[in-house]
Structure 1
Amino acid sequence: MTVTTGDDRRFPAALAAVARIEFDYADGEGVDFEPYDAFDSAEETTDWIRHWTGNHELDGAAYRVFGQDGAGGRAALWCVRAGRPLAEQPVVFLGSEGERGVVAGGLSDFLWVLADGYGPMEAALDDELESCPDPSLAGLAERYATTPRRPVRDIVTEVRAAFPSFSDDLDALCR
């Protein structure tokens, strides 16, 4: 069951700082991430999740989309932790071809994922997860993160364990 935190669409300062970063795709060897400078509107998010699932009864209230990859997959905060602020909601990735995964347990850990050289798509789909630190993103994470620095592998393993049914729950929404 998905629980929302209301219609809070105020863009966190940490995501605004991420939006100012240009990620280098490096011909498929880098990070495929295009951050937004604001959340998609509620209407855009509803349209996207309905098309992604084929379920036109859904609304997008459970998601705050804040970026995409080059193929149109979306990175979002998933508002599943009742009563908790947006920064404490898990970060998820939903790819344009049905790929999906949880990326980080909250915005702070997501900053450490970026600092370790991974974008949302790579963290959600890659099982190797070897650290490739990015000094400029590490500096950004040091300024905004409220959790201690940890390797991407630890962050992703932890959030996958916390939300083991994420993929199955999405499948249940699909028509």
Structure 2
Amino acid sequence: MIETTEGDRAFPPALADVARVEFDYDDGEGVDFEPYDAFDSAEETTDWLRHWTGNHQLDGDAYRVFGQDGTGGLAALWRVRPDRPLAEQPVVFLGSEGERGVVAANLSDFLWVLADGLGPMEVVEHEEYDARPNPVLTELAERHASTPRRSTRDIVTAARSEFPTFSEDLDALCR
């Protein structure tokens, strides 16, 4: 079993701080996000990806899963930028019913999405991003973010422009 606290599985300090925040689902009006305090193991990630795609030849090495929604959809860092640290990898969401999308181009931008009162599932499943600023998450983003604050719409638009074939690339992996 690969340890989830060493090497490229070391949990970024910003995500450790996010894991200490309680997200209020508020009967569907809040944020449906349950952050983890460590990445899923390599084995858990591989098992999930194989079941999600139906392709049992895959491994989950391209993903570092760090949270979920209430239905089991997963938020992950997608290791698509070779030789770049985890904090510079895009954040993606893969829902339990096949929903998927790029949420932010990097961890820093993801912190600003959270500060706007939105989670990964809300960004992927909705086209309107009604900001409900969260003071706790805003302070966390101000402490950890290396990118300037921008609207969720600008963050998502930029990320999806940079990775326009994410969904199609996943479809190609499905069996």
* Range of TM-score over shorter length: over 0.9
Q: Does the 8 A contact of 1:77 with 1:89 survive in 2?
A: yes
Asked whether 1:146 is paired with 2:155, we answer: no
Q: What corresponds to 1:128 in structure 2?
A: 128
Q: Which runs of 5+ in 1 are unaligned?
A: 1-6
Tell me, what secondary structure is at the counterpart of 1:50? Answer: helix
In 1, Cα distance between equivalents of 2:108 and 2:15:
10
Tell me, what secondary structure is at the counterpart of 1:131? Answer: coil
What's the % identity of the aligned pairs?
76
Q: Provide the TM-score with structure 1 as the length reference.
A: 0.95
Asked whether 1:31 is paired with 2:21, we answer: no
Task: State the AA in 2 paired with 1:118.
Answer: L
Q: What corresponds to 1:55 in structure 2?
A: 55
In 1, Cα distance between equivalents of 2:46 and 2:107:
22
Task: State the AA in 2 paired with 1:104.
Answer: A
Q: Does the 8 A contact of 1:23 with 1:33 survive in 2?
A: yes
Deviations 1:3-38 (A, max 9, x none): xxxx61000000000000010000001000000000
- When structure 1 is superposed on structure 2, of 10-19 and 131-140 the one drifting more is 131-140
In 2, Cα distance between equivalents of 1:153 and 1:137:
18
Deviation at 1:123, TM superposition (A): 1.2
In 1, Cα distance between equivalents of 2:123 and 2:54:
25
| Root mean square deviation, CA, Å | 0.7
In 2, Cα distance between equivalents of 1:141 and 1:106:
13
Q: What corresponds to 2:110 in structure 1?
A: 110
Tell me, what secondary structure is at the counterpart of 1:158? Answer: helix
Q: Which runs of 5+ in 2 are unaligned?
A: 1-6
Deviation at 1:62, TM superposition (A): 0.1
In 1, Cα distance between equivalents of 2:141 and 2:67:
17
Aligned structure 1 segments of 4 or more residues deviating by more than 3 angstroms: none
Deviations 1:97-142 (A, max 9, x none): 0000000000000000000110011112211112221111100000
In 2, Cα distance between equivalents of 1:171 and 1:97:
14
Q: Superposed, which structure 2 residues align to 1:12-27 within 5 Å? A: 12-27=12-27
In 2, Cα distance between equivalents of 1:145 and 1:123:
19
Q: What corresponds to 1:160 in structure 2?
A: 160
Q: Provide the TM-score with structure 2 as the length reference.
A: 0.95
Tell me, what secondary structure is at the counterpart of 1:8? Answer: helix
In 1, Cα distance between equivalents of 2:131 and 2:159:
17
